[in-house]
């Protein structure tokens, strides 16, 4: 029995350490990052489960769309730094992270994000791949890759300037400037600001389930058609540079200092 069958049978299926909650509700899947103690940072085990669920959802005709959400006061603080310090990325294309990025980028059905609190790193770049994004008034989107001696990921070097313009993308990616909910909506990163983004996401999901699934898939494919080849190229180049950067002493010193400061709080 796969993850989606389990979640359908029991209402909600958690990973062994409960870091990711997978729920099948009506005809959508709700994926909830569930590490509030570390601001829902995504670890490698979560990436493996996310990829497995998305691949199963892509071939399940009963599933129309997938929703991403987070528990606590944060959508996601991005990647788990501990994992990146300990893991080997000698072949980054074999990593759980790359499998997830590829799966999301190729996902044919609608993806929806319900964002509250802070969205850092991949917590923000994931939104670039979502078809609908609903956010609370308190959100802040932050891309601090350069401050970690890293580079953009998930196609952000291509998608972000396309979406919000090069000038603003430079501020986010090179200066590490955050944007709030109003700016995110004005720039086109967010569809709407609402007090309960998850309720709005579910409402939109219900609307999508009343549409012909094949027509939804065809429309999404056509909307993204001209973007797919350059996106794949950008993601591959980013991955190569990102993986090399993870091996540098500069990254390790910054990451360890970050973790030491975090542990003192």
Contact predicate 4/56, CB 8 Å: yes
Structural class in CATH, domain 3-195+213-264? alpha beta
Residues 199-231: tens digit of each pLDDT: 999 999 999 999 999 999 999 999 999 999 999
Percent of the chain whose pLDDT exceeds 90:
83
pLDDT at 15: 42
Average the pLDDT over 133-150 and give the result: 96
Average the pLDDT over 45-64 and give the result: 97
Average the pLDDT over 21-34 and give the result: 95
pLDDT at 12: 45
Q: Which tokens belong to 5? A: 């069958």
DSSP-based three-state secondary structure for 218: helix
Residues 153-190: tens digit of each pLDDT: 999 999 999 999 999 999 999 999 999 999 999 999 99
Least trusted range by pLDDT, from 11-25, 55-69, 219-233: 11-25
- Name residues whose C-beta falls within 8 Å of residue 18's C-beta, 6 or more positions apart in sequence: 34
Whether pLDDT at 39 is above 70? yes
Average the pLDDT over 60-70 and give the result: 97
Q: Which tokens belong to 156? A: 């952000």
38 alpha carbon, distance to own chain's centre: 16
Whether pLDDT at 7 is above 50? no
DSSP-based three-state secondary structure for 112: strand
Contact predicate 114/200, CB 8 Å: yes
| Residue 8 pLDDT grade (very low, low, confident, very high; cuts 50, 70, 90) | very low
pLDDT at 10: 32
d(CA 111, CA 100): 14
Contact predicate 127/141, CB 8 Å: yes
Helix spans in the chain (H): 3-10, 44-58, 81-86, 96-106, 122-125, 156-164, 166-173, 181-186, 197-209, 213-246, 249-264
pLDDT at 82: 87
pLDDT at 264: 64
| Residue 16 pLDDT grade (very low, low, confident, very high; cuts 50, 70, 90) | very low
| Residue 11 pLDDT grade (very low, low, confident, very high; cuts 50, 70, 90) | very low
Percent of the chain whose pLDDT exceeds 70:
92
- What is the overall mean pLDDT for the chain? 91
Question: Residue holding tokens 């429309």?
Answer: 219
């Amino acid at each position: 029995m796969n993850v989606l069958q389990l979640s359908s049978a029991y209402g909600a299926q958690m990973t062994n350490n409960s870091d990711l909650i997978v729920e099948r509700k009506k005809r959508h899947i709700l994926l909830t990052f569930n590490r509030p103690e570390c601001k829902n940072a995504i670890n490698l085990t979560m990436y493996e489960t996310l990829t497995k669920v998305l691949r199963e959802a892509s071939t399940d005709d009963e599933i129309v769309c997938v929703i991403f959400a987070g528990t606590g006061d944060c959508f996601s603080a991005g990647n788990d730094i501990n994992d990146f310090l300990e893991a080997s990325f000698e072949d980054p294309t074999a990593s759980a992270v790359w499998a997830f990025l590829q799966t999301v980028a190729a996902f044919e059905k609608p993806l929806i994000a319900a964002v509250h609190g802070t969205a850092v790193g991949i917590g923000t770049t994931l939104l670039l791949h979502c078809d609908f994004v609903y956010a609370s008034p308190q959100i802040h989107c932050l891309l601090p890759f350069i401050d970690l001696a890293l580079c953009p990921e998930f196609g952000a070097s291509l998608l972000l300037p396309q979406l919000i313009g090069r000038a603003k993308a430079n501020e986010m990616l090179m200066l590490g400037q955050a944007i709030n909910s109003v700016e995110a909506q004005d720039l086109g990163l967010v569809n709407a600001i609402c007090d309960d983004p998850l309720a709005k996401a579910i409402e939109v999901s219900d609307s999508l389930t009343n549409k012909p699934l094949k027509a939804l898939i065809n429309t999404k494919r056509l909307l993204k058609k001209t973007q797919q080849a350059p996106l794949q190229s950008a993601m591959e180049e980013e991955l190569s540079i990102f993986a090399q950067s993870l091996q540098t002493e500069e990254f390790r010193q910054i990451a360890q200092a970050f973790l030491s400061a975090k542990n003192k709080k």
